Amino acid sequence: MTDTIAGVEVPETSAVAEATDFLRERTNPLIFHHSRRVFLFGSLHARKLGLRPDPELLYISAMFHDAGLTVPYSDTRQRFELDGADHARKFMLDHGFSKSAAEVVWLAIALHTTPGIPGRMGPEIAATNYGVLTDAVGWGLDGIDSEQLDEIVTAHPRGDFKKEFLRAFVDGLKDRPDTTYGTVNADVLEHFLPGFRRTSMVDRINEAPWPR
């Protein structure tokens, strides 16, 4: 039976099924429901804007985009977005996708918190970002049909999303605060983590090993 929510069909492929199972088993309900909503919202925005993302690539991008907050995919100290992007690319190559398709998903995840750039790129990258913005900060929410919105949040409840989502960021980044330099993630740590002080570009220029 086709899984359809708010008029959006979830692709029926083995890779989609495995990505879904992975999120259910390896993350938590907060990230799972958020990721599914990102796919649904991103799909609706794409439809409205005349974009045509590959549904399978968009789904995998949405499902892995925040996985780096909860699962340590890498021993390197890097942005959590790169953790999710690296794991998703390996997942895709292991499942027989082309390198170009894996790169699309990698970019969609790596750039999903970067303001201004994803919307100028391919449809999967743009739609992932639009879905994230809608679910996280309400971007474009007034353009979504109320019945579709009700159907999405009924299928994937938000619960106490604002509080729990911010806590997920703190928990995922507090042990690697230096990786938040130059990103919106530093906003969260600055608000919630005692003693955290973001490094600014002014600091880096002034402290550079040049005499002037």
Domain that holds residue 19: 4-159
Total domains in the fold of the chain: 1
pLDDT at 135: 98
Provide the percentage of residues in the chain whose pLDDT is more than 70. Answer: 97
Higher pLDDT, 70 or 160: 160
Give the DSSP H/E element, type plus range, for residue 172: helix 161-173
Contacts of 155 (CB under 8 A, 6+ apart): 5, 36
Whether the pLDDT of residue 128 is over 90: the answer is yes
User: Is residue 197, in this structure, part of any structural domain at all?
Assistant: no
User: In Å, how far from its chain's centre is CA 161?
Assistant: 15
pLDDT at 74: 64
pLDDT at 77: 85
Mean pLDDT for the stretch of residues 160-175: 95
> Per residue in 79-110, pLDDT tens?
999 999 999 999 999 999 999 999 999 999 99
User: Is residue 204, in this structure, part of any structural domain at all?
Assistant: no
Dihedral angle over CA of 150, 140, 64, 80, nearest 10:
-130
Q: How many other β-carbons are positioned within 10 Å of the β-carbon of residue 170?
A: 16
pLDDT at 168: 95
pLDDT at 75: 61
Partnered with residue 4 across adjacent β-strands are 9
Higher pLDDT, 77 or 117: 117
Mean pLDDT for the stretch of residues 122-147: 97
pLDDT at 70: 84
- Cβ(124)–Cβ(104) under 8 Å? yes
pLDDT at 88: 96
User: Is residue 169, in this structure, part of any structural domain at all?
Assistant: no
User: Is residue 150, in this structure, part of any structural domain at all?
Assistant: yes
User: Is residue 30, in this structure, part of any structural domain at all?
Assistant: yes
> Per residue in 41-68, pLDDT tens?
999 999 999 999 999 999 999 999 999 9
Partnered with residue 8 across adjacent β-strands are 5
CA 140/CA 129 separation, integer angstroms? 12
Partnered with residue 5 across adjacent β-strands are 8
User: Is residue 15, in this structure, part of any structural domain at all?
Assistant: yes
User: Is residue 187, in this structure, part of any structural domain at all?
Assistant: no
Provide the percentage of residues in the chain whose pLDDT is more than 90. Answer: 94
Domain of 57, CATH number, reads: 1.10.3210
Q: What is the mean pLDDT of the chain?
A: 95
CA 29/CA 172 separation, integer angstroms? 16
Give the DSSP H/E element, type plus range, for residue 8: strand 8-9
